Structure 1
Amino acid sequence: MAARDVRFLIPGHDTSDGAGVKLKRSLGQSAQARLDPFLMLDEFSSDEAADYIAGFPSHPHRGFETVTYMLDGHMLHEDHLGNRGDLKSGGVQWMTAGRGIIHSEMPQQKEGRMRGFQLWLNLPAKEKMKPAGYRDIQAEEIPEATFPGGVVVKVIAGSVTTANGPVNGPIHGPTQKISTDPQYWDISLRSGATATLPIPATHNAFVYVFEGDVMLSDGEGEDRKVPTHHAAVLGDGDSLVVRAGSRDARLLLLAGKPIGEPIVQYGPFVMNSVEEIEQALRDYRQGTLAAPA
């Protein structure tokens, strides 16, 4: 197996979104800080209610998918389709904006920790105007793959096996049959633990470390440290070789089939051309963004 090396690091940048929610943005800081098919990754984490309490009031999207993974806390999703979902600790909300959706994500707590991630996943041109969709994934629906030495992988999307054969059989996540074939894993490692995890060679991939730090090996003796709150864009290969440092570590692995199409983004709209963005703006102003095609 060919281990993927680190092409470059993207430090998480402090910013805010919604009505002032404080967060760290790695992928998506700029048009150059993307990795097809991934557009953006935000981490939100605070024990101070003032950092998150204003939430994300009603706003539109078109042309991509949002995946919200809650580690700690409680947030309520509501949209124009009538969907209402409680996102609680360990759960995921997978929303396909498609042609258009108008939704809100509002905290349902006035104190305590709120921590999690929102990922933006692009859609190919042929799917950008498909009907919007929404799915709640409860914490108990997300399987775990346990490996020797203190390594646990939560499989949100895709599937996980070991380098030398499956452990407890292939572990499949609840999210499948998406054209970009996303692999979304939450990997926990005890201090000093090492894992070798196959990744499809056809996929672009990156990791984001949010607890501790890790070393990524290219399999030829070259290791690269990835500190906390950094994304590491990976090179070519068919496996990830990761080792935790002196502390327990936790990271996300995101991999997906590249789309290879032009990207034009204007705020919450991601299309393939300026003309399509202008149409999305007209549709939103005229109240037809989320209307049936």
Structure 2
Amino acid sequence: MKQVESDQVARGRGVERLVNGQFVTDGAGVKIKRVLTGQLQRRLDPFLMLDAFGSDKPGDYIAGFPEHPHRGFETISYMLAGSMRHRDSAGHEGLITDGGVQWMTAGRGVAHSEMPEQTDGVMEGFQLWLNLPARDKMTEPWYADIPDAAIARFATADGATVKVIAGESHGVAGAVRRETTCPLYLDIELAANASFAQLLPAAHNAFMYVYRGQVVVDEQSVPQGRMAILANDDQADGVRMVAAQPSRLILIAGRPLNEPIAQHGPFVMNTQQQLVEAVRDYQAGRF
């Protein structure tokens, strides 16, 4: 694993607020924790939704997500543990397993299913929705199945181990890049009392979700199961964190689109008329 020096952050972002999220069911009854909800879409533009799921009870996940449509954005599914099969109307198919990522650009429209390929054991991971700019909303669907071994990692002398799912961190390129939204998606593991610093453009919106342990950001504690929205600060050049105990978290940031958001369930466009067209196209079998 590559060893790097930590970023030198002159002024770190603080925590604007902590978000608990809400427990909901989706798909055919899968129990999930919706951390980034519709009320936060404008604040965390270009990100539309973040779901966290995790259970060792098959009844919580076994029904999966039967075929359903999407248009106008991208889905990033990151599996910490378990196996999920993806199939879609564009002819793509893949199996996501421990540590792997599925990145799908719905574009002009795709219908897909995400079904567990296990009958017991732990199923844990995240699904993030990333908006597409208006000019790309009707692009051709695209899909990538990225196994754990293909995701770049690095370690720092300060006790951090980092997986770079998207963007670039400490000179290490992630599995996926996007020119317009410039998403950064890191999975960070910290030993007790370890620290980590990440440079972030001041104009980018950013948040973290702690799924193991507890970290401290600018003297603000972020406990397990909480999302911390990082304050926008023109004078800040990044974020600094310290682990109060062995911890894991995801850090996500991106350039806002600053475009209208019109959403109807699995369709995210810019106008209500475009949503009407999306529903009609799906009903007419044009996905």
Flag the 1:178–1:136 CA change in 2: closer, same or farther, 3 A.
Answer: farther
For 2:41 and 2:175, locate their aligned partners in 1 and report how far apart those are by CA, in whole Å. Answer: 31
1:67-86 to structure 2, matched below 5 A, reads 67-86=76-95
Tell me whether 1:287 sits opposite 2:285 in the alignment: yes
Flag the 1:25–1:147 CA change in 2: closer, same or farther, 3 A.
Answer: same
Gaps of 5+ in 2: 1-9
For 1:56 and 1:178, locate their aligned partners in 2 and report how far apart those are by CA, in whole Å. Answer: 30
1:26 counterpart (22, 32, 35): 35
Q: Which residue of 1 aligns with 2:269?
A: 271
Contact residue 41 and residue 47 of structure 2 kept, 8 A: no
1:1-293 to structure 2, matched below 5 A, reads 1-28=10-37, 30=39, 34-161=43-170, 170-217=171-218, 223-235=219-231, 236=233, 237-245=236-244, 247-288=245-286, 290=287
Kindly, what percent of the aligned residue pairs are identical?
Answer: 50
Flag the 1:32–1:120 CA change in 2: closer, same or farther, 3 A.
Answer: closer
For 1:61 and 1:144, locate their aligned partners in 2 and report how far apart those are by CA, in whole Å. Answer: 31
The CA RMSD over aligned residues, in Å, is 1.2
User: What is the aligned length?
Assistant: 275
For 1:29 and 1:56, locate their aligned partners in 2 and report how far apart those are by CA, in whole Å. Answer: 20
Structure 1 residue 65: deviation in Å?
0.2
Moved over 6 A (4+): none
For 2:37 and 2:141, locate their aligned partners in 1 and report how far apart those are by CA, in whole Å. Answer: 23
Structure 1 residue 230: deviation in Å?
1.1
For 2:42 and 2:226, locate their aligned partners in 1 and report how far apart those are by CA, in whole Å. Answer: 12
Q: Which amino acid aligns with 2:112?
A: H
For 2:224 and 2:262, locate their aligned partners in 1 and report how far apart those are by CA, in whole Å. Answer: 30
- TM-score under structure 2 normalisation? 0.93
Q: Which stretch of structure 1 is more off in the superposition, 56-65 or 234-243?
A: 234-243
Q: Which stretch of structure 1 is more off in the superposition, 121-130 or 4-13?
A: 4-13
Q: Which amino acid aligns with 1:114?
A: M
Q: Which amino acid aligns with 1:45?
A: G
